Chains A and B, each alone.
Chain A
Amino acid sequence: MSFGSMFILVIVLLILLVGYAWYVNLIKRRNRAREALSSIDVQLKKRHDLLPNALKLARQFMTHERELMQEVIRLRGQAQQPYDPNQADQVRQHLQAEGQLQMGLRRLFAVAENYPELRSSDTIIEAQRAFNEVEGHIAAARRFYNASVTRLNNAVEIFPGSLIASLVGVQSMPFFELEDPALRQPVNVDDYFPDRH
């Protein structure tokens, strides 16, 4: 074999090796992101499991908030729909549904503040404490997921990773984002102190 042929062969082998290493790295990052998504689902299930008890307690006192409670039940059902973690669109819908459920729960607890007998109930206090702990874990799982997705998306979207990703079918994954765009708006202090001026 001539020197030129040997040289070309070595270059081709090097390219294949680098390409394989890149592919392995891509798969590792995707699996890491899936692991993170699974961690979120574990925490979200805990939140779903706490809901029936909390709603039962709320129903005893918040007799005029039937619509809100039914909305929360509907959102819970929506969030519990099965999804394919390999499909980015389904993952996005799943995370959006969970975000809407979280907003519903916030509204529920905010309205519960208007019922003193509910606020002072030991059981509801314990339920709120349990929710706060679960929400803390969900926030942590979300940070882990978003960090993993960032690393995956960087590898998928930056050349030459994008080439290898398209060849093997590895896609970007969606972030678990803020549910309510209104939360990004600046706070107007005057809304809270209307008699200030």
Chain B
Amino acid sequence: MSDSDDQWAGLATDGFSTFYEQTIKPALVQFERNRARDIRLVYAAWAIAGLGLVIMFFTDDDQGWLTMLGMALVMLGLITQHGVRRRMNRALKESLVAPVCQYFGLDYHQRPTAVPIRRFVQAGLLPASYDQSRAEDQISGEYRGVAINLCELTLQQTIEDKDRSSTQVVFQGMILTYRFPKPFTGETRVVPNRGGLFGWASRSGYRPRHPGDRVYLEDPVFEEHFNVYATDQVEARYLLTPRFMERLMDLSRHFSESSTQSLAFTENDLLICLRSGKDRFEGGSLLQQVSHRERVQELLGELEQVLGIVDVLDLTNQTRA
């Protein structure tokens, strides 16, 4: 690895510096030129909205047309700034996230069309009751020989309350799919151990939504953090070996921010549901200069976190502990 590659910590391998200089940096420089112009447009839009507010609340208008004008200016300003920022955000992702994923042989879709929500719902990892879904930043392909597919997902539910309705977020985070190297036929779920009354209920045999039976494993630390349910007791232990349970605990520590993970082994895939408020793969703030290596380094760190699951769980190894 060259000295310049040493500056890229984590995933970056030999040749990433060259790729950065030849592909990413020119795209970011071009984006930066447009960013300066677009940011001025955003500020102008905010100014128009502010002017509209002033007109609405600080003019004495008996006929009402000034109030209407003020409202129109506010809406124009808000819609314009929202549109410009959304366009900038998309352009930044295309300039930064897409080529970095391409370097690692992965496909990137800002607005994915085929998101396996139903599969995760059937696996008991996502709530079945939602009205709207919004997915973004889908990354798919092969990493170190392991087929992966992940995306960010938000699920919302409309709650009707007498004569008004409100929207509640029922899930926010990431859903990840990895091809598991060991063959299996049943279904095994690993969910957080909530303890307390719910934990007592689950220990007493009340299982609101998980198929099969509760599996009690030997690792006390693992049992403190997770509950396991499986359609086949032997297969659950075949998948969750003592070493793999340790790796799942490592996975919990791998995600440093506050998040909860739940997993399901189904149809030869490992599904991971990561509930987290963090918005990944955004490319950073639009208000600051983007043509810095730090932007790329931050993205590499985010990629390393999700791709590193392959290494943490040792998904490349076949018949092993």
Closest to A135 in B: B319
In the complex, how many residues of chain B place their beta carbon closer than 8 angstroms to a beta carbon of chain A?
A: 13
With A143-B218, A147-B216 known as contacts, the answer to whether A129 contacts B319 (CB < 8 A) is yes
Among residues of B, the one whose C-beta sits closest to the C-beta of A146 is B218
A144 to B319, CA, bound (A): 19
Instruction: Provide the B152-192 mask, 1 if CB < 8 A to any CB of A, else 0.
Output: 00000000000000000000000000000011000000000
Interface residue B198 (Cβ < 8 Å from any Cβ of A):
no
Binds A, one of B19-27, B229-237, B252-260: B229-237
Contact residue among A129, A136, A144 (Cβ-Cβ distance under 8 Å from B233): A144
Query: Would you give the shortest CB distance from B7 to chain A, in whole angstroms?
Result: 40
Of the residues A129, A133, A137, contact of B234 by C-beta under 8 Å: A137
| Distance in angstroms between the alpha carbons of A147 and B218 in the assembled complex | 8
CB 8 Å contact bits of A26-43 with B (1 = contact, 0 = none): 000000000010010001
* Other-chain residue from B216, B218, B238, B318 in contact with A137 (beta carbon distance below 8 A): B238
State the majority secondary structure of interface residues on A. Answer: helix
With both beta carbons as reference points, the residue of chain A lying nearest to B319 in the complex is identified as A132
By beta carbon, the residue of chain A nearest B318 is: A129
Find chain B residues with CB under 8 A from A141 CB: 234, 237
- B interface footprint on A113-148 (CB within 8 Å = 1, 0 otherwise): 000000000000000010011001101110110010
Per-residue CB proximity of B236-252 to A under 8 Å, as 1/0?
11100100000000000
Whether A140 and B235, one on each chain, are in contact in the complex, defined by CB atoms closer than 8 angstroms, is: yes
Least Cβ–Cβ distance between B219 and chain A, in angstroms: 11
Task: Tell me the chain A residues, 5-34 only, with Cβ under 8 Å from chain B.
Answer: none
Q: Could you tell me the distance between the alpha carbons of A36 and B234 in the complex, rounded to whole angstroms?
A: 8
- A36 and B233 contact, CB distance less than 8 A: yes
Give Cα distance in the complex from A59 to B83, angstroms.
75
Q: Which residue of A lies closest to B235 (CB)?
A: A140
Q: A141–B236 Cα gap in the complex (Å)?
A: 10
B319 A140 Cβ-Cβ under 8 A: no
Bound-state CA distance A147–B318 (Å) is 26
Query: Per a CB cutoff under 8 Å, which of A129, A132, A133, A144 touches B237?
Result: A144
Alpha-carbon separation in the docked complex, A136 to B235 (Å): 10
Taken together as a complex, chains A and B put the C-alpha atoms of A143 and B243 apart, in Å, by 14
Given contact pairs A129-B319, A132-B319, A136-B319, A144 touches B218 in the complex (Cβ within 8 A) = no
* A144 vs B217: C-alpha distance when bound (angstroms): 9
Whose C-beta in chain B lies nearest to the C-beta of A134? B319
Q: Mark B194-233, 1 if CB is under 8 A from A, else 0.
A: 0000000000000000000000101000000000000001
Q: How far is the CB of B222 from chain A (nearest CB, A)?
A: 13
A140 is contacted by which of B183, B216, B237, B318 (Cβ under 8 Å)? B237
Evaluate contact between A140 and B234: CB separation under 8 angstroms: yes
Q: How far is the CB of A140 from chain B (nearest CB, A)?
A: 4
C-alpha gap A137/B239 in the complex (Å): 9
Give the contacts of A140-168 with B (CB-CB under 8 A). 140-141, 143-144, 147
**Nearest residue, chain A, Cβ from B215:** A144
Complex CA distance for A144 and B216, rounded to whole angstroms: 9
CB distance from B178 to the nearest CB of A (A): 19
Interface residues of A (CB under 8 A from B): 36, 39, 43, 129, 132-133, 136-137, 139-141, 143-144, 147
Q: Which 5 A-B pairs have the closest CB atoms?
A: A140-B237, A140-B238, A132-B319, A141-B234, A143-B237
Known contacts A137-B238, A139-B237, A140-B241; 5 additional CB pairs below 8 A are: A133-B319, A137-B234, A140-B235, A141-B237, A144-B234
Mind listing 26 A-B residue pairs with CB under 8 Å?
A39-B233, A43-B234, A129-B318, A129-B319, A132-B319, A133-B182, A133-B183, A133-B319, A136-B182, A136-B238, A137-B234, A137-B238, A139-B237, A139-B238, A139-B241, A140-B234, A140-B236, A140-B238, A140-B241, A141-B237, A143-B218, A143-B237, A144-B233, A144-B234, A144-B237, A147-B218
